[in-house]
Amino acid sequence: MNLDKRNLLYRGKAKDVYATSHPHQVLVKFRDDITAGDGKKKEIMGLKGYYNSLISAKLFQILEDAGIKTQYLGLPEPGYILSLKLDMIPLEVITRNIAAGSLLRRFPFQEGQTFKPPIIQMDFKNDEYHDPMLNDDIILALELATREDLEIIRETTLKINQVLKDFLEERGLLFPDFKIEYGRDQDGNIVLGDEISPDTCRFWDSETCDILDKDLFRKGESGVIEAYQKVANIILDEKDKKKWNLDF
Ligand code: UDP
């Protein structure tokens, strides 16, 4: 397939964003670069971008089907996602259903403790300041979002959590936590952007509690790509697999 791919607009840690012939659409290339620890640990892992694009496309489609506005427009071929162009809000919106990761390093929670209702945490997406945790007053003072924006972000995030958690649990995956990002479309509406993949979520096998996400790379363990492939295999249905001729 001929991709509608023009000039490079932005290069992130794991994705490149290209202009297309359409002024309000961009083409996102999912790269194989994998990073951890504030970008200090870096590697290239063959097929990571391929699996992440398939996983993210599927999860965004599920959210679209549930009535959530997202930037997802389609998967022209594995590795690339066509997206609505957004003006991104520099917030990392983290939702936590089970205590894991940095939360355990910073606060006296028990490992595996569940949160009902889930915890929503917002970090400042800013490399220079190392993504510090924010509160509403700091977000307002930095003019990252308004009170109304925060209300929409919180409500949408809780809905996203519920939809994805139900979908994943039905397929034998626990969903301890995940990070999402929002942007504004050309009319100023808040829309879900970025990606939802094992790079940005924790996925655990609900039977064995095996880790199936980037934590394997953070911990220096083997089987990272095998875990990403397993997540893709679990969440894609036969129709998806047939369409892309996937034989895993
Ligand atoms: N996360 C992310 N990007 C970041 C920070 C966190 O995608 O810059 C995701 C991470 O993959 C996990 C969740 O947000 O699913 C919570 O991460 P945590 O704060 O526990 O930090 P970590 O343990 O990853 O350092």
Count CA within 13 A, CB hemisphere, residue 61.
14
pLDDT of residue 213: 98
- Give, for ligand 1, the residue of 200, 211, 219, 228 to mutate: max count of ligand atoms closer than 8 Å to Cβ: 200
Task: Using the atom order of ligand 1, give the atom closest to the CA of residue 102.
Answer: 20
pLDDT of residue 161: 99
- Work out the average pLDDT over 40-62: 98
pLDDT of residue 247: 86
Q: Which residue owns the Cα nearest ligand 1 atom 7? A: 200
pLDDT of residue 38: 87
pLDDT tops 80 at residue 1: no
Pocket of ligand 1 (CB under 6 A): 92, 94, 100-103, 131, 177-179, 200-202, 214
Q: What is the pLDDT of residues 150-199, one digit of tens each?
A: 999 999 999 999 999 999 999 999 999 999 999 999 999 999 999 999 99
pLDDT tops 80 at residue 245: yes
The CATH homologous superfamily to which domain 88-205 belongs is ATP-grasp fold, B domain (3.30.470.20)
Identical fold, 8-87+224-243 and 88-205: no
Residue 218 backbone zone (phi > 0: left; psi -120 to 50: alpha; other: beta): alpha
State phi, psi for 63 to the nearest 5 degrees: -70, -40
pLDDT tops 90 at residue 2: no
- Work out the average pLDDT over 35-47: 95
167's tokens: 């979908």
**Domain range summary for the chain, segments of one domain joined by +:** 8-87+224-243, 88-205
Query: What is the second-level CATH architecture of the domain 8-87+224-243?
Result: 2-Layer Sandwich (3.30)
DSSP 150-189: HHHHHHHHHHHHHHHHHHHHHTTEE--EEEEEEEE-TT--
Distance 40 CA to ligand 1 centre (A): 15
Distance 200 CA to ligand 1 centre (A): 6
pTM above 0.85, yes or no: yes
pLDDT of residue 196: 99
Using 50, 70 and 90 to split pLDDT, how confident is the model at 48?
very high
- Give, for ligand 1, the residue of 103, 120, 179, 216 to mutate: max count of ligand atoms closer than 8 Å to Cβ: 179
pLDDT tops 80 at residue 136: yes
pLDDT of residue 20: 98
Classify 79 as helix, strand or coil.
Answer: coil
Using 50, 70 and 90 to split pLDDT, how confident is the model at 240?
very high
Distance 243 CA to ligand 1 centre (A): 32
Q: What is the pLDDT of residues 62-80, one digit of tens each?
A: 999 999 999 999 999 999 9
Distance 125 CA to ligand 1 centre (A): 12
For strand 41-44 and strand 91-98, is the pairing parallel, antiparallel, or unpaired?
unpaired
- Work out the average pLDDT over 113-128: 98
